[in-house]
Amino acid sequence: MYKPELETACNELLKIASSIKIKFDGSDDLQFMTLCFFQKQVDHMRSTLTLLPSPDTQLIVRSMLEGLVYLLWAIKETTEEQTKETPRATRWRYYVYVEDKETLRKKMANDEYVSGEERLKVEQDFEVNKEPFLTKSKMKCHSNWKNGKNLAEIFKEVSGDDLYALYSVLSDYHHFGAKNFASQASFRPDNKFEFDPNLDAIVNTSLSLAFQCLYQTLEQADFIFELGISKDLKAVYSYLLKECKIPTSYSPT
């Protein structure tokens, strides 16, 4: 059965997020990452609510889950872990210079025109910023800012094993996996094909996950920017538990 209270809770959370004004000078990498992820999660929540009751809400929520665990992973390092490595938020922010260098390489390999000024700037920026991304051999850079960590490992490091299981289901939908279709597709005795997704369950799951992703992102933004929204967040969370009467593995701080 579709739970309209989930939609209400998501809208209330979106109102809180939309009212926030954050001042930021651009210097702190973790603040920059948090601000970017916060804005994208807000946009994703709007898109999720706009798409209702489409099963394609799963595509957006999958992206929201990925963004949430990346942010939690970056923040966890600064609050719980001792490391001599370049901070994850810094790697996320500055990996763009590695990507620019790779784009330059491909252009030149394809004999595309690149001005001398552009080439010099890309190469200089790369030389200045490449060190945190070099592999052990020091001969090349990692293929992404996570420096060898895969997504399953990152979910695990932020205690998100249950969320990763859901992420895998959403990924199967995203990639047209047969498993996703197995419970929805059938043939009638007259050999007519029928496709009957359990839309209520899909939408409920999408809204639950969208709520959790934006909620936890807001929690982290509140912690980092001292927004003073914790009471408002907990009020919406309490409404969700009371009205929807659904179990949850997450408890607000």
Q: How confident is the model at residue 2 (pLDDT cuts 50, 70, 90)?
A: confident
3: left (phi over 0), alpha (psi -120 to 50) or beta: beta
Which tokens hold the place of 91? 């790697």
Sign of CA dihedral 7, 12, 15, 16: negative
**188 vs 28, more confident:** 28
Residue 252 has pLDDT above 60, yes or no: no
- 126-154, pLDDT tens digit by residue? 999 999 999 998 889 999 999 999 999 99
Per-residue pLDDT, 248: 52
Residue 179 has pLDDT above 90, yes or no: no
Per-residue pLDDT, 250: 52
Mean of pLDDT values over 1-22 = 93
- What is the rounded CA–CA span in Å between residue 44 and residue 161? 23
Per-residue pLDDT, 247: 52
**For residue 121, what are the contacts with CB-CB under 8 A and spacing of at least 6?**
none
Per-residue pLDDT, 121: 97
**Mean per-residue pLDDT over the chain, rounded:** 91
What's this model's pTM, rounded to 2 decimal places?
0.90
Least confident of 5-14, 52-61, 190-199: 190-199
- 225-246, pLDDT tens digit by residue? 999 999 999 999 999 888 876 5
The CA-to-CA distance between both ends of the chain, in Å, stands at: 30
Residue 187 has pLDDT above 80, yes or no: no
- What is the rounded CA–CA span in Å between residue 212 and residue 241? 12
Per-residue pLDDT, 246: 58
Q: How confident is the model at residue 167 (pLDDT cuts 50, 70, 90)?
A: very high
- 80-125, pLDDT tens digit by residue? 766 678 999 999 999 999 999 999 999 999 999 999 999 999 999 9
**253 vs 158, more confident:** 158
Spell out the SS3 assignment of the chain.
CCCHHHHHHHHHHHHHHHCCCCCCCCCCHHHHHHHHHHHHHHHHHHHHHHHCCCCCHHHHHHHHHHHHHHHHHHHHHHHHCCCCCCCHHHHHHHCHHHHHHHHHHHHHHCCCCCCHHHHHHHHHHHHHHCHHHECCCCCCECCCCCCCCCHHHHHHHCCCHHHHHHHHHHHHHHCCCHHHHHCCEEECCCCCEEECCCHHHHHHHHHHHHHHHHHHHHHHHHHHHCCCCHHHHHHHHHHHHHHHCCCCCCCCC
**For residue 215, what are the contacts with CB-CB under 8 A and spacing of at least 6?**
13, 233, 236, 237, 252
The dihedrals phi and psi of 195, each to the nearest 5 degrees, come to: -125, 115
- What is the rounded CA–CA span in Å between residue 8 and residue 12? 6
- 188-237, pLDDT tens digit by residue? 788 788 777 788 889 999 999 999 999 999 999 999 999 999 999 999 99
